[in-house]
Amino acid sequence: MENDSSIQWEHSHDFGLDNKLHENKVKTVFWLTTVIMVLEIGAGTWSGSMALLADGWHMGTHSAAFLIAIFAYSYAKKHANNKDFSFGTGKVNSLGGFASAIALAIVALMMIVESVQRLLEPQSIHFNEAIVVAIIGLVVNVASVFILHDDHHHHGEHHHDHDHNMKAAYFHVLADTLTSLLAIVALLIGKYVGLIWMDPLMGIVGAIVILRWSYGLIKDSSNVLLDKSVKKSTLEQISKALSKKNTVINDIHVWTIATAHQAAILKVTSAQPLNSDEYEGILREILPQLSHISIEIRHDYSL
């Protein structure tokens, strides 16, 4: 298809994003997370602290999620101009975010299971070693949050501008930050007050928050992957705008094909139809992110 010279393409169908900046930031956070993972697993093994070992493997799942994000950016860039993908590789972004959200949910469920076990069977905790390493982990996680925060915040201003891959990475470092913070609080209470059960209780609280983040990301990214239509009110707005031009909509589909890009397919009927450029102009006023439009126009003099 790429070498078919008989097709005269009017425009590029690469509706992905240049995510080089995002990719570099995720790589930085990946290495920070991996270093802390090795530190926690090593310290946990040396001190015999199951809490540190558990958190170390928890960090390992996030490192794996960051690898998914990095792969998604790389794959999308590599196949950006591949005509085998009808609307480019923009949805790879959402696919990476969806996969990472599933991983996030699995981590949260594992945290709940382990925390419940610790509530039923309390274990001794090496508080001093655990607190020191947890603080180091918190500092690195906070740094990671700041590295990813600006881009996530910017894309959060508009619903359709979400880079789901970046959002997933951001939620993973937030999850790590939350678990480190809760762990420090629980360890301090356990050490100085003696309430050892606070450690697993905080784990359950953190897991519930993480599950909520995961659900929201799964919902957002799956809407894109499943070609969910724009809101019914938007379709009605389009219908009203075209009716003023004596045009009836017989069929319409509007969906997201990539971050900040939408596509539309319409079949319209009119006794005095406008040309396709005029219809496109009306649609773009309502849908400013519209990047690909296909319109079938029919004459019906009985209207």
State the virtual CA torsion across 17, 22, 24, 26 in degrees, nearest 10. Answer: -130
Tokens 């519930």, located at residue = 208
Radius of gyration of the chain from Cα atoms?
25
**Span 106-135, mean pLDDT?**
80
Give the pLDDT of residue 242: 92
In this structure, what token pair is assigned to residue 158? 């508009």
Please state at what angle helix 276-286 crosses helix 232-243, rounded to 10 degrees: 140
Q: Is 292 helix (H, G, I), strand (E, B) or coil?
A: strand
Mean pLDDT check: name the lowest of 74-78, 153-157, 197-201: 153-157
Q: Which two tokens stand for residue 186?
A: 């629980």
Q: What is the sign, positive or negative, of the torsion defined by CA atoms of 153, 92, 208, 187?
A: negative
pLDDT at 62: 72
- Average pLDDT, whole number, for the chain? 78
Residue with more model confidence, 155 or 22 = 22
The residue written with tokens 């450029």 in the block is 277
Mean pLDDT for the stretch of residues 265-281:
90
pLDDT 10s digits, 136-162 = 888 888 888 888 775 544 444 344 446
What domains appear along the chain, each with residue ranges and CATH number? 22-149+163-226 (1.20.1510), 232-299 (3.30.70.1350)
Q: Is the pLDDT of residue 295 over 80?
A: yes
pTM, entire model: 0.68
Interval 33-42: pLDDT, tens: 888 888 877 8
At 251 the pLDDT is 92
Name the region of 194 (left: φ>0; alpha: ψ -120 to 50; beta: rest): left
Between strands 247-258 and 261-270, the pairing is antiparallel
Q: Give the single-character DSSP code of 153.
A: H
Query: Please, are residues 19 and 162 in contact by the beta-carbon 8 Å criterion?
Result: no
Arithmetic mean of pLDDT, 270-285: 90
